[in-house]
C-alpha cells in the first residue's frame, strides 16, 4: 500500500511539473517572490483577494519538479479559500513537509504528495517556497486592510 501511495504521489508531482496550473503573471498585481540561492529555484505569485477570499492565484515558477509542482498544487488548493483557511492550510502543510505533527484532517488534498519531503531536508525549501510567498502576500493584504480602518 505504501508503494502505491508513493507511486501516486510521484505521478501527481510530475503531472503538475509538466502542466503547472495558474501559470503566468498578470499586469497590475503586486508580485511576491521567493528565491532559493542554494538550488536556484525561483517562484513569483500574485494573489487576487476580495472580502478575505482568495479569488485567484497567478504564478511563475522556475526550478525543480518539487518547487514547480508545489507551486502549482498550492495555487489550485488555495483558490476560493478564506484568508483564515489558507493560513491554516499553509501552517499544516509546513508541518507535514517538516515531519512535525499536523492536523491530518486539514484540506491538503494533492499537497499530501509532499509528505515524503521530510525524509529529504535539502528539498524542504523547494517544497515550501510557495507557502512562504503565500504568507507574505496574506500578511501584506492584512496590513493594508488594517491601515484602511
Question: Which 3 state secondary structure label does DSSP give 64?
Answer: coil
- All domains of the chain in start order, with CATH: 2-148 (3.90.1010.10)
pTM: 0.93
CA of residue 121 relative to chain centroid, distance: 17
pLDDT for res 4: 79
Give the whole-number percent of the chain exceeding pLDDT 90.
86
The model's pLDDT over 73-130, given as tens digits with 9 standing for 90+, comes to 999 999 999 999 999 999 999 999 999 999 999 999 999 999 999 999 999 999 999 9
pLDDT for res 149: 74
What strands lie across the sheet with 53-62, from one edge to the other?
A: 32-35, 42-50, 53-62
Question: Which 3 state secondary structure label does DSSP give 68?
Answer: helix
pLDDT for res 37: 81
- Tell me the C-alpha distance between 10 and 5, whole Å: 9
- Residue 2, pLDDT > 70, answer no
pLDDT for res 39: 83
pLDDT for res 3: 64
Identify the band that residue 60 occupies on the pLDDT scale cut at 50, 70 and 90.
very high
pLDDT for res 148: 84
Mean of the pLDDT values across residues 63-77?
96
Amino acid at each position: 500500500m505504501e508503494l502505491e501511495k508513493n507511486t501516486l504521489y510521484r505521478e501527481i508531482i510530475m503531472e503538475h511539473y509538466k502542466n503547472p496550473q495558474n501559470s503566468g503573471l498578470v499586469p497590475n498585481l503586486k508580485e511576491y517572490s521567493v528565491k532559493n540561492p542554494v538550488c536556484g529555484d525561483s517562484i513569483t505569485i500574485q494573489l487576487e483577494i476580495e472580502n478575505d477570499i482568495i479569488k485567484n492565484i497567478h504564478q511563475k515558477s522556475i526550478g525543480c519538479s518539487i518547487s514547480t509542482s508545489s507551486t502549482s498544487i498550492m495555487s489550485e488548493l488555495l483558490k476560493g479559500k478564506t484568508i483564515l483557511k489558507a493560513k491554516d492550510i499553509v501552517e499544516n502543510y509546513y508541518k507535514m513537509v517538516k515531519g512535525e505533527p499536523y492536523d491530518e484532517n486539514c484540506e491538503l488534498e494533492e499537497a499530501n504528495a509532499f509528505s515524503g519531503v521530510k525524509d529529504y531536508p535539502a528539498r524542504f525549501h523547494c517544497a515550501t517556497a510557495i507557502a512562504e510567498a503565500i504568507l507574505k502576500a496574506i500578511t501584506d493584504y492584512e496590513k493594508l486592510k488594517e491601515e484602511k480602518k
